[in-house]
């Protein structure tokens, strides 16, 4: 039985008074995360797929508040990079339950994965290239591995997320049986893995299930009785556009069961976007309203550095006028302060006409929102507030300019502004950190 929470949360369902109060207290642009919604989305998905092992795909949102909420709800975590592994462990994940899906992994990532695998024998590495397995073996790793399969079928909301037919991801389908036999001599081969794409809704289920059936057939050819799991990835979508309907998860689950058929191995699934997308919004303040012959341009303090998905994927994000939801509607184009025409959240979209100082909410910002935030134009990254019931807490501080520039090195003897705003002389220390940089230090957003 799936969880009774609503299958979709539209941007208009958020409490405007509360969003305005949070913006007044914490400034804008501001990410507002509802951890209760994160939990409800996970429980709805896990309830529909109660016979599967459900893991959260951390790359959608690696914030500590999200990971802690999902671990508390009983989710395991799938990671695609060393940093995600470290954050999952810091949030309380048992490393023996972690699955690392290596995509062209840097040396530092593999080194860390091998260290985890030595200390925690339940840890699993999924490889999508022969080189990855060779590099693991060269490091002395002989533990649990899975093979990422490229089924040659991709689907989803944009060609850049249709991973199932992208040569970057996975071993070609026809090469897997021979590779699996080889890997059984070198490692503990425990599974197969595939990921078809992202943003799958009802119209994409046919292709999605065709890929699942393909991988299930491959598992039976390889010997599913000798595998612990077959991981069919995530990709389940949420409706971004108002006319789109949410997935009926019970229907989707039945379609997936039919596609899998009889399988001795455990079915794994990795929802990411489905869990977090509609659990977060960005609140941004209007600073400019400009009439032009073509359109009314509305300038806000959020930008593509805050949310890059519209610029990167041509993604649609719903927008609501928090301050005046009942004002007369007219077509407007909303964009940020970056000096590029890509910094636009919508063009000629009917909205309650914004005025300067109005607050707008940009919906469905939880998946690949803060994850892809940048320092373009030297913009500090925004604060993030997590709400749960009546409670609200800052889970990422608003970044300062000292945080933006802290990794830059000036010449010894010159001065630089420290995190506390006090200029200090730069010492003659030109040592470099590791390839990932520092984390969690004062002046950074978390």
Alpha-carbon span 97 to 39, nearest angstrom: 19
The label of the residue with tokens 């999200």 reads 66
Spell out the residues 6+ positions from residue 189 whose beta carbon is closer than 8 angstroms to its own. Answer: 145, 146, 147, 180, 183, 226, 227
Give the contacts of 4 (CB within 8 A, at least 6 positions apart).
none
| pLDDT per residue rounded down to tens, the chain (446 residues) | 345 678 899 999 999 999 999 999 999 999 999 999 999 999 999 999 999 999 999 999 999 999 999 999 999 999 999 999 999 999 999 999 999 999 999 999 999 999 999 999 999 999 999 999 999 999 999 999 999 999 886 454 434 344 445 678 899 999 999 999 999 999 999 999 998 777 888 888 888 899 899 999 999 999 999 999 999 998 899 999 999 999 999 999 999 999 999 999 999 999 999 999 999 999 999 999 999 999 999 999 999 999 999 999 999 999 999 999 999 999 999 999 999 999 999 999 999 999 999 999 999 999 999 999 999 999 999 999 999 999 999 999 999 999 999 888 777 766 766 666 666 666 655 444 554 443 343 344 55
In the chain, the domains with their CATH numbers are 36-275 (3.20.20.10), 278-396 (2.40.37.10)
- Confirm if 33 and 387 have CB atoms less than 8 A apart: yes
Question: Residue 6's closest CA among 246, 318, 364, 255?
Answer: 246
- Given a contact cutoff of 8 angstroms between Cβ atoms, the answer to whether 85 and 79 are in contact is yes
Burial zone of 224 (CB within 10 Å; 0-12 exposed, 13-18 middle, 19+ buried): buried
> Which residues face 332 on adjacent strands?
349
**Given 209, 338, 339, 346, which residue is catalytic?**
339
Beta carbons of 70 and 95 less than 8 angstroms apart = no
Q: Is the pTM of this model over 0.85?
A: yes
Cα separation of 202 and 205, whole Å? 5
Closest CA to 296 of 359, 339, 346, 340: 346
Q: What is the dihedral of CA 275, 277, 283, 289, to 10 degrees?
A: -170
Active site residue 338: no
401-440: buried (b, 16+ CB within 10 Å) or exposed (e) per residue? ebbbebeeeeeeeeeeeeeeeeeeeeeeeeeeeeeeeeee
Q: CA-CA distance, 193 to 174, in Å (whole number)?
A: 14
């Amino acid at each position: 039985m799936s969880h009774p929470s609503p299958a979709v949360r539209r941007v208009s369902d958020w409490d405007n008074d509360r969003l305005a109060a949070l913006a007044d207290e914490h400034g804008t642009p501001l990410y507002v995360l509802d951890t209760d919604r994160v939990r409800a989305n996970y429980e709805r998905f896990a309830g529909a797929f109660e016979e599967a092992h459900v893991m959260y795909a951390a790359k959608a949102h690696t914030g500590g508040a999200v990971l802690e909420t999902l671990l508390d709800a009983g989710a395991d975590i799938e990671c695609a990079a060393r940093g995600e592994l470290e954050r999952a462990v810091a949030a309380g994940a048992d490393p023996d339950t972690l699955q690392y899906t290596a995509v062209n992994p840097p040396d530092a990532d593999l080194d860390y994965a091998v260290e985890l695998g030595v200390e925690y024998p339940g840890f699993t590495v999924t490889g999508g290239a022969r080189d990855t397995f060779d590099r693991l073996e060269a490091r002395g790793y002989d533990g649990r591995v899975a093979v990422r399969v490229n089924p040659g079928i991709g689907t989803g909301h944009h060609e850049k997320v249709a991973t199932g037919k992208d040569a970057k991801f996975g071993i070609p389908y026809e090469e897997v049986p021979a590779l699996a036999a080889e890997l059984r001599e070198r490692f503990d081969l425990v599974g197969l893995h595939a990921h078809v794409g992202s943003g799958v809704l009802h119209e994409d289920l046919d292709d999605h299930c065709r890929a699942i059936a393909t991988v299930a057939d491959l598992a039976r050819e390889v010997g599913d009785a000798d595998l612990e799991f077959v991981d069919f990835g995530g990709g389940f979508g949420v409706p971004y556009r108002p006319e789109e309907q949410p997935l009926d998860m019970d229907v989707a689950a039945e379609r997936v069961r039919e596609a899998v058929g009889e399988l001795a191995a455990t079915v794994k699934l990795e929802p990411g976007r489905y869990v977090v997308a509609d659990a977060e919004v960005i609140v941004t303040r209007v600073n400019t309203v400009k009439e032009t012959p073509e359109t009314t341009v509305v300038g806000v303090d959020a930008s593509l550095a805050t949310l890059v998905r519209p610029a990167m994927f041509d993604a649609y994000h719903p927008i609501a006028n928090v301050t005046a939801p009942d004002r007369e509607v007219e077509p407007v184009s909303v964009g940020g302060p970056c000096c590029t025409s890509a910094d636009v959240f919508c063009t000629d979209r009917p909205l309650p006409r914004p005025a300067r100082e109005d607050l707008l909410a940009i919906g469905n910002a939880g998946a690949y929102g803060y994850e892809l935030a940048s320092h373009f134009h030297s913009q500090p990254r925004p604060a993030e507030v997590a709400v749960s019931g009546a409670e609200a807490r800052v889970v990422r501080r608003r970044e300062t300019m000292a945080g933006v520039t802290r990794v830059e090195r000036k010449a010894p003897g010159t001065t630089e502004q420290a995190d506390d705003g006090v200029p200090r002389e730069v010492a003659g220390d030109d040592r470099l950190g590791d390839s990932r940089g520092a984390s969690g230090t004062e002046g950074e957003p978390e």
